[in-house]
């Protein structure tokens, strides 16, 4: 089964509405100029304030839109939080769940991530589940076990047919300039695929697994050439239209890749 190649940009807490519109004005023509977009899924996860203002332009350019976070409750006294229904009203169709910065800085536990993922699915949107180990966990030889724990907590007991993506982000390679070697990344992606086969056997073969961690135009092609790496989740390099377009242009388009 052939999976799409996904190029995802996480803008984090960068760019306002004017900056987001200026980005699209520059990026969309570059994207349209790619020779083959047939297998390419491009998505952006801007700040919450940009979702509604950018929805029409993204839709016209066939760019999927994702929120960076959500709260699992339908409504309530949760000041500063946003429900899945509110996100859906903006026109966004996806939500990042369990990003390492949410886990690291905002106390998102495995249980809370699981609740968010189920809320996203129950709300009719598609989650991008982020998993990954810290440097201390990798150096202790626990990387695979940590990722397995995160996957099992979030995915165990899900229905046989759901739409979701996985993003593997080694925490030690985010914003540090350090990148997991293609061998490191490829090895973990194979491990994740095997875990998906165990947890969601009916759909494991069609779920995209993205790599996130200091992805840039000069390393994107090598990263995406590896087995079971179905695209990238890009941070800083997604803020510049030229660099994000260059990463999209590096996506493999040959028939049968990742089949």
The HSE-up count of residue 11 (CA atoms within 13 Å, CB side) is 24
* Pairwise pLDDT comparison (100 vs 94), residue with the higher score: 94
139 part of a folded domain: yes
| 255 found inside a domain | no
- Specify whether 99 is catalytic: yes
Residues 6+ apart with CB under 8 A from 51: 65, 67, 87, 90, 91, 92
User: What per-residue string of b and e applies to 92-117 under the rule 16 or more CB within 10 Å gives b?
Assistant: bbbbbbbbbbbbeeeebebebbbbbb
Q: Does the structure show a pLDDT above 90 at 176? A: no
Backbone angles phi, psi at 179, to 5 degrees: -130, 135
Distances in Å between the Cα of 200 and the Cα atoms of 6, 90, 116, 131, 162 are: 20, 30, 18, 16, 9
Q: For 55-94, how does the pLDDT look when each residue is reduced to its tens digit (9 = 90+)?
A: 999 999 999 999 999 999 999 999 999 999 999 999 999 9
Residue 37 lies in a domain: yes
> Is 139 a catalytic site residue?
no
Domain with 74 in it? 5-237
Q: How many structural domains are present in the chain?
A: 1
pTM of full prediction above 0.85 = yes
Beta-bridge partner residues of 96: 128
Within a domain: 131: yes
Q: Considering the domain boundaries, does residue 206 fall inside one?
A: yes
Does residue 244 fall inside a structural domain? no
Tell me what the mean pLDDT of segment 47-60 comes to: 97
Tell me if 243 is assigned to some domain. no
Catalytic site residue from 71, 99, 189, 258 = 99
253: in domain: no
Spatial contact of 159 and 200, defined as CB atoms under 8 Å apart:
no
Identify the active-site residue in 169, 189, 195, 258: 169
pLDDT tens digits, 184-241: 888 999 999 999 999 999 999 999 999 998 899 999 999 999 888 999 999 999 999 9
Dihedral of alpha carbons 42, 178, 170, 207, sign:
positive
The answer to whether the beta carbons of residues 196 and 207 sit under 8 Å apart is yes
d(CA 66, CA 223) in angstroms, rounded, equals 23
Alpha carbon 136 to its chain centroid, in Å, reads 23
CATH assignment at residue 107 = 3.20.20.70
């Amino acid at each position: 089964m052939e999976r799409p190649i996904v190029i995802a940009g996480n803008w984090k807490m960068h760019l306002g509405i004017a900056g987001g519109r200026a980005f699209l004005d520059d990026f969309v023509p570059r994207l349209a100029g790619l020779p083959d977009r047939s297998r390419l899924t491009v998505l952006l996860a801007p700040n919450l304030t940009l979702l509604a203002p950018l929805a029409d332009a993204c839709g016209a350019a066939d760019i999927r839109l994702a929120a960076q976070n959500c709260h699992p409750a339908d409504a309530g006294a949760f000041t500063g939080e946003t429900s899945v229904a509110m996100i859906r009203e903006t026109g966004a169709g996806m939500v990042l769940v369990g990003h390492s910065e949410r886990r690291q800085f905002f106390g998102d536990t495995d249980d809370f991530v699981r609740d968010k993922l189920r809320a996203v699915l129950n709300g009719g949107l598609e989650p991008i589940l982020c998993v990954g180990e810290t440097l201390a966990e990798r150096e202790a030889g626990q990387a695979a076990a940590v990722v397995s724990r995160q996957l099992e907590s979030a995915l165990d007991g899900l229905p046989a047919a759901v739409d979701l993506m996985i993003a593997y982000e080694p925490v030690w390679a985010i914003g540090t300039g350090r990148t997991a070697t293609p061998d490191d990344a490829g090895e973990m992606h194979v491990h994740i695929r095997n875990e998906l086969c165990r947890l969601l056997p009916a759909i494991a073969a069609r779920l995209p697994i993205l790599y996130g961690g200091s992805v840039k135009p000069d390393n994107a092609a090598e990263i995406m050439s590896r087995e079971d790496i179905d695209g990238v989740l890009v941070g800083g390099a997604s803020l510049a239209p030229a660099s994000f377009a260059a990463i999209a242009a590096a996506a493999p388009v040959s028939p049968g890749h990742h089949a």
